Structure 1
């Protein structure tokens, strides 16, 4: 394989790993819920979140590439100990959301095969961990996430066309919304590039040996492509849901994202949804496990040497917690809130790193990227902080 082909495949793999990590069961539910509440105006929220996502991700991927260091090592140079703190947050958030991802995969197999959600979760966990048992785990992971990504996009696109959405209204209110929900914007940004998600692709291309200033053109393209892949799924699902909601259909509160699939094609549509949520969930399981372990792998030669086994252990533990304990609501809410705080912390550290020659050498970071990144940091920090304070107040009260 030529070096050009290797680099292209690695960046495509990084883009799909990041995108499919973002498209999990929470992604599907959020899109359905906000479409029902905002209707066509949700298009504006999606558009604005895409711009913020690109601003955040382009900053992070560029500095990771230029430095040739993983995020935790960059953070430790910016502030001694910050990398360890960031790693703890990433692993905690990744674990909490992986429990949810395994649960989503179990639900998918429950719909597809009729097995119990618990057995479906175990089967899905085994499928995910098998990838890391092979010698070329990275390449297999890249191929698997790409195939699952195309399956999700294709099936949801079919449902969108069958739902016959009011496209003209969607376009109109995307440009001129009649209502704006700031919480929806922050939720979408956090759900697309928050926590471990944006680092999934950044650490993947680093593992593939792609770094340095000469890689910036490819890295920029990969970062933007990843956001556009995830956003394409968001837009297609939004239009599918808008199509059925605009016909007066009420979404199923237990599983709102399944409604358009079932409405347009009955039991066949529900089967299709089972495939979509399984593909979304199992790829998120893989992305969360891979990225969480990548945040501790540089701290110990032993972890680096046996990294695939640590990833397998992460998947096994997530699956075991779901099957035996379930999804403890209070723990998931608290850690989920902390996960929302990860983006302003991690992006803030990356922006500081962009101006430290010890990390980036003679690289000059574009001012406009710093400004955009700073806006994301401030907005996410304020709203995530408000959510955290609200949760703690309820807990104490």
Structure 2
């Protein structure tokens, strides 16, 4: 009797002429989607209502000279995010998990600051969605905020919340950039004058540089993309190239949005239009393109605010959980986070200015604490990085950026001190 053939594990069919299999193609597409999602989650989290207001105000104050501040801020932002994404990505641990490994209690402190800052800032983000729909559709800000909250909650209640999150932030991010580009072209800014001021500014404002750096990589924004990268499974030394490319691309997307917004408003100012100091951006867009410009501003503000609601909620909850927490649990916590901040927005009778000052101060203090601990991991804790030898040049650039964040923290603490003791 012939014995049965020995069992052999099934092996995949060889590729024909280097063409990847269907499974490999699906996996590659899924990875690209996750990387894009991480990039745009970070970028759109940075571009919120505060981002738009800051850019408009500094453009009005500095004119073409603001171009220099934008370029300097992008350079510093890249230095911060390159280090943050690399340490978190290679370790496979969230920022507060790493902080807890470095210094007992530091993880809880960092998580508490991020969640508190995100909670209060999210009230302003929800308010921004209401103002955006008001300008876009004429809807009451309260009603617009409630509608937007429902949209954000629906994303995290969907069966494939991760995929929905990645696709929606990418689509909304692209819509925001295109809408701003249209207005920037319509306003016909003197681009040559702006380029000259990049290297030879007519005036320089260190306050503008530090403020927009804090607004782009401060608080929860620092970790939004990196934590999304972890949840997508892009971790380890073998993913260094993807991690590096994604972190730089995210900052560049944010930078492009800042530049386009600056050019759109600068074109109107250079044309001699008188802008409303209480709402510079809206009046600039209306001056550039009339009724269409005002509607475009509403669309941009709404997309900026709704993506910031998503980013703030997602990242804040990521600090309340660990890598082992089930995705369904994280999604439900995120829904609760959005619901709480939305209810607070609906109940308050005025814009939460003092709360936003409070949150801004906290965001400024979060950056040097969390960033400093991550740099320590890069320098002294190779065991948390799987033995990876961290590039000395990148670490040195990170330390210089960290010193600047200490100044940012000092600047952020002043309004908090005045709020408490004035």
Asked whether the two chains share a fold, i.e. TM above 0.5, the reply is yes
Question: What does 1:301-312 align with in structure 2 at a 5 Å threshold?
Answer: 301=325, 306-312=329-335
The DSSP-based 3-state class of the residue aligned with 2:322 is: helix
Indicate the residue corresponding to 1:194 in structure 2: 218
Asked if 1 retains the 8 angstrom alpha-carbon contact of 2:354 and 2:419, the reply is no
1:66 is aligned, of 81, 85, 90, to 90
Q: Report the count of equivalent residues.
A: 396
Write the distance in 1 (CA, Å) between the matches of 2:40 and 2:108: 27
Write the distance in 1 (CA, Å) between the matches of 2:418 and 2:155: 43
Superposed displacement of residue 390, structure 1: 5.1
Indicate the residue corresponding to 2:310 in structure 1: 286
Asked if 1 retains the 8 angstrom alpha-carbon contact of 2:94 and 2:323, the reply is no
Per-residue deviation, residues 174-212 of structure 1 (Å, max 9, x unmatched):
111121111111111111111111211101111011100
| Root-mean-square deviation over aligned CA pairs | 1.5
Greater helix proportion: 1
Per-residue deviation, residues 265-289 of structure 1 (Å, max 9, x unmatched):
2112111111111011001100000
TM-score normalized by the length of structure 2: 0.91
Superposed displacement of residue 112, structure 1: 2.1
Superposed displacement of residue 332, structure 1: 2.2
Asked if 1 retains the 8 angstrom alpha-carbon contact of 2:364 and 2:408, the reply is no
Indicate the residue corresponding to 1:368 in structure 2: 393
Asked if 2 retains the 8 angstrom alpha-carbon contact of 1:297 and 1:304, the reply is no
1:230 aligns with 2:293: no
Indicate the residue corresponding to 1:17 in structure 2: 41
Superposed displacement of residue 256, structure 1: 1.5
Superposed displacement of residue 372, structure 1: 1.6
1:392 aligns with 2:417: yes
Superposed displacement of residue 352, structure 1: 0.3
TM-score normalized by the length of structure 1: 0.96
Question: What does 1:136-151 align with in structure 2 at a 5 Å threshold?
Answer: 136-151=160-175
Per-residue deviation, residues 296-317 of structure 1 (Å, max 9, x unmatched):
111985x865111110111111
1:266 is aligned, of 290, 298, 312, to 290
Asked if 2 retains the 8 angstrom alpha-carbon contact of 1:99 and 1:327, the reply is no
**Unmatched runs of 5 consecutive residues or more in structure 1:** none
Asked if 1 retains the 8 angstrom alpha-carbon contact of 2:189 and 2:264, the reply is yes
1:378 is aligned, of 399, 403, 409, to 403
Asked if 1 retains the 8 angstrom alpha-carbon contact of 2:93 and 2:323, the reply is no
Superposed displacement of residue 42, structure 1: 0.6
Superposed displacement of residue 135, structure 1: 1.5
Asked if 1 retains the 8 angstrom alpha-carbon contact of 2:57 and 2:280, the reply is yes
The DSSP-based 3-state class of the residue aligned with 1:298 is: coil
1:179 aligns with 2:203: yes
Asked if 2 retains the 8 angstrom alpha-carbon contact of 1:289 and 1:315, the reply is yes
Per-residue deviation, residues 337-357 of structure 1 (Å, max 9, x unmatched):
111111111110100011302
Asked if 2 retains the 8 angstrom alpha-carbon contact of 1:96 and 1:336, the reply is no
Write the distance in 1 (CA, Å) between the matches of 2:68 and 2:243: 27
Superposed displacement of residue 227, structure 1: 0.5
Write the distance in 1 (CA, Å) between the matches of 2:408 and 2:371: 15
Deviates more, 1:75-84 or 1:358-367: 358-367
Indicate the residue corresponding to 2:71 in structure 1: 47
Per-residue deviation, residues 236-266 of structure 1 (Å, max 9, x unmatched):
1101111011122233222211122101221
The DSSP-based 3-state class of the residue aligned with 1:250 is: coil
2:383 is aligned, of 343, 348, 358, to 358
Asked if 2 retains the 8 angstrom alpha-carbon contact of 1:183 and 1:383, the reply is no
Indicate the residue corresponding to 1:331 in structure 2: 355
Indicate the residue corresponding to 2:5 in structure 1: none
1:124 is aligned, of 140, 148, 162, to 148
Write the distance in 1 (CA, Å) between the matches of 2:303 and 2:65: 28
Indicate the residue corresponding to 2:20 in structure 1: none
Indicate the residue corresponding to 2:13 in structure 1: none
Larger Rg: 2
Indicate the residue corresponding to 1:313 in structure 2: 336
1:168 aligns with 2:192: yes
Deviates more, 1:342-351 or 1:387-396: 387-396
Indicate the residue corresponding to 1:33 in structure 2: 57
Deviates more, 1:60-69 or 1:290-299: 290-299
